[in-house]
């Protein structure tokens, strides 16, 4: 696990810029730093290393190929790299290996097979950049699901990229203007979806793609389009059209256990201490159970507990850990412990990000890092096995709405939407308004977008804002639950869940791995008929059966809590003064980003206890805290 950066173009002192970039990313790679330059072509690559596999200098980066033609920087882990090595050796294409790092395997494969065949052959999480010294080509690529981040764009007529935005900030001219389209999307989702970033001209490389630039494009302003080498959406469609059949439920259970066990085994590859997050839920408990089954010693497991029992899952995790025999660590944190994390969030995420579960995620990552360098998680179980409770609720709403004549749906939606602005308290007003907004939707994707939205009309909230088209505007085949799972797999999962975990963990130099995002597991899950995901109103049916082979059902069967904090109460209590300052109408008007009145109204209603607007306000607060961290509270590109 590492951080990568690079710059190609006419910048003075590129090496100095890369040193500054690496310094800003040192949390991602505290073990060493490397810089390589091709002076003739004016390209410099930078790398910071968190050594996980092959701790020797043989695994150091940037790495040159044995033939000397290619230079590579890689962030991530390739779990099947020994298998790739064997294929190269059998074909007579392997070099004389210098060590046993996966980076050396990858650059050998790239030199032998080329970019796309190598990307398709790899199982793992990664972001990489490859420089071809002969053809003067730069290729950047990202893993299938976007577990590892990669930003890129033109800055001051040079092409630049980095694992984090802060790595690109030393380049003169970086971050001149905020992208108001991206900010509008942020107000919708509380995260900024790929390919947008908070800065104009800077993009995120979308998952499962690579981009290649030649000499003519290095200092130009026309960006080539990324090439798709693997598509989560295409694989979901294939799975729906090619469902698996089993002779019995037992055979289905064994099949899932087998494919998940292989993924877990591959992701336990490490030359440093390794453990797992254990919340006590279905997903993390399954991963920990399969890890312990394959280990000859107790694995390390970690959980966070809270003083407030409404948010505390630590006792469940402790019971499961005791049953499985893991070496478990729980840390109970107070509200103040959690609140102390908040000042570090803008630098941790380096663009606005407002999933409030980022707070406990940061706490459990910090605690785990005291004992291990790698931690596996149960993320993606909800998206693969229909785990979110909202899926069944939205499906019911969609089916009921479809029974209404089209001529009635929109006027009724407008009427319900207006209820949001009636005076007085009551959470029912917000629910009616959201339902009203959903009634105006024209397809399943738009219907679901309205359900998961924070601000229902975000373009009206951002001055000069316009909401660009996203995956939610596309048509989706199949039943509503399938459409929602597919949308989450290409939006919420990579742009919220994986961002949240990667940044929180890498802030403390902890590598996280997600076995359920082995692409073989994803493809298998999408070939499962619906009855194996939802049965008798129970979600994750097949995944539960795998877990029940290792843990008694009574230890894990309980209502889903999620990884939440009492944000609404905090904003009325210990965070009230902080929020008051950041939401001050005079400050907001001076910045010229937001329409002030709706924010001021929601803050007044929330602070007085009339309504719970904590999720909506948290997004605005994270923008304000980010501006304070990187721009002294001002808006880039706007005179004040």
E strand or H helix at 210: strand 209-213
The yes-or-no answer on residue 2 being catalytic is yes
Query: Position of tokens 């804002």?
Result: 465
**59, 101 in Cβ contact below 8 A?**
yes
Q: Is 378 annotated as a binding residue?
A: yes
**497, 361 in Cβ contact below 8 A?**
no
Supply 504's token pair.
Answer: 């929180």
Q: Is 208 annotated as a binding residue?
A: no
CA distance 455 to 468: 15
Angle among Cα 144, 375, 352 to the nearest 5 degrees reads 60
What is the per-residue burial (b if ≥16 Cβ within 10 Å, else e) of 344-360?
ebbbbbbbbbbbbbbbb
Q: Is 38 annotated as a binding residue?
A: no
Secondary structure class of 611 (helix, strand, coil): coil
Q: What are phi and psi of 403, to 5 degrees?
A: -75, -15
**190, 355 in Cβ contact below 8 A?**
yes
Angle among Cα 194, 208, 206 to the nearest 5 degrees reads 15
Half-sphere exposure of 286 (CA within 13 A, CB side): 31
Q: Is 102 annotated as a binding residue?
A: yes
Cα separation values, 142 from 125, 152, 496, Å: 8, 12, 16
CA distance 410 to 95: 65
What is the full DSSP assignment across 391-406? HHHHHHHHHHHHTS-H
Query: Position of tokens 């091709």?
Result: 38
CA distance 133 to 8: 13
CA distance 538 to 403: 26
Q: Catalogue the active-site residues.
A: 2
Annotated binding site for ATP: 304, 377-378
Annotated binding site for L-glutamine: 102
């Amino acid at each position: 696990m590492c951080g990568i950066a690079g710059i190609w173009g006419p910048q003075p002192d590129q090496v100095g810029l890369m040193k500054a970039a690496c310094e800003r990313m040192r949390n991602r790679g505290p073990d060493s730093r490397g810089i390589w330059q091709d002076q003739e072509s004016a390209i410099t690559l930078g790398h910071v290393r968190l050594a996980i596999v092959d701790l020797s200098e043989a695994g150091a980066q940037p790495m040159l190929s044995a033939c000397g033609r290619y230079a590579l920087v890689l962030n991530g882990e390739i779990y099947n790299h020994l298998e790739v090595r064997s294929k190269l050796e059998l074909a007579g294409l392997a070099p004389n290996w210098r060590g046993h790092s996966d980076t050396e395997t990858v650059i050998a494969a790239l030199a032998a097979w080329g970019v796309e065949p190598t990307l398709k052959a790899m199982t793992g999480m990664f972001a990489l950049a490859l420089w071809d010294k002969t053809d003067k080509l730069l290729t950047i690529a990202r893993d299938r699901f976007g577990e590892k981040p990669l930003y890129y764009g033109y800055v001051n007529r040079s092409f630049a990229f980095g694992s984090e935005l802060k790595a690109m900030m030393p380049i003169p001219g970086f971050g001149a203007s905020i992208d108001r389209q991206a900010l509008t999307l942020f107000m919708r989702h509380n995260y900024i979806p790929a390919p947008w970033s908070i800065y104009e001209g800077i993009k995120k490389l979308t998952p499962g793609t690579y981009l290649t630039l030649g000499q003519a494009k290095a200092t130009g302003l026309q960006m080539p389009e990324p090439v798709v080498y693997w598509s989560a959406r295409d694989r979901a469609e294939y799975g729906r059209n090619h469902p698996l059949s089993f002779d019995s439920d037992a055979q289905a259970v064994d099949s899932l256990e087998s494919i998940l066990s292989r993924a877990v085994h591959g992701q336990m590859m490490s030359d440093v201490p390794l453990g797992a997050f254990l919340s006590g839920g279905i997903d993390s408990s399954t991963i920990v159970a399969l890890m312990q089954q394959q280990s000859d010693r107790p694995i390390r497991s970690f959980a966070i507990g809270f003083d407030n029992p409404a948010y505390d899952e630590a006792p469940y995790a402790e019971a499961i850990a005791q049953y499985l025999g893991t070496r478990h660590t729980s840390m109970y944190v107070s509200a103040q412990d959690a609140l102390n994390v908040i000042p570090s969030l803008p630098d941790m995420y380096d663009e606005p990000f407002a999933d409030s579960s980022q707070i406990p995620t940061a706490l459990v990552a910090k605690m785990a890092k005291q004992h291990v360098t790698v931690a596996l998680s149960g993320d993606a179980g909800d998206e693969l096995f229909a785990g979110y409770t909202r899926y069944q609720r939205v499906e019911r709403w969609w089916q009921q709405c479809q029974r209404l004549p089209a001529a009635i749906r929109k006027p009724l939606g407008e009427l319900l939407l207006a209820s949001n602005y009636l005076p007085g308290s009551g959470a029912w007003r917000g629910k009616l308004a959201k339902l009203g907004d959903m009634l105006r939707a024209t397809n399943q994707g738009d219907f679901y977008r309205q359900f998961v939205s924070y601000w229902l009309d975000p373009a009206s909230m951002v001055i000069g804002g316009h909401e660009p088209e996203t995956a939610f505007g596309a048509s989706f085949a199949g039943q509503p639950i399938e459409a929602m799972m597919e949308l989450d797999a290409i939006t919420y999962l990579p742009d919220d869940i994986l961002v949240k975990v990667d940044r929180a963990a890498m802030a403390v130099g902890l590598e996280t791995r997600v076995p359920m995002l082995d692409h073989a597991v994803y493809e298998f899950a999408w070939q499962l008929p619906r009855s194996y995901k939802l049965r008798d109103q129970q979600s994750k049916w097949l995944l539960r059966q795998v877990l029940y082979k290792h843990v008694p059902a009574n230890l894990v069967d309980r209502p889903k809590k999620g990884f939440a904090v009492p944000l609404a109460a905090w904003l009325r209590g210990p965070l009230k003064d902080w929020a008051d300052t950041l939401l001050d109408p005079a400050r907001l008007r001076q910045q010229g980003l937001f329409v002030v009145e709706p924010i001021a109204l929601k803050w007044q209603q929330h602070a007085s206890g009339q309504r719970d607007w904590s999720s909506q306000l948290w997004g605005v607060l994270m923008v304000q805290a980010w501006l304070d961290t990187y721009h002294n509270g001002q808006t880039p590109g706007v005179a004040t």
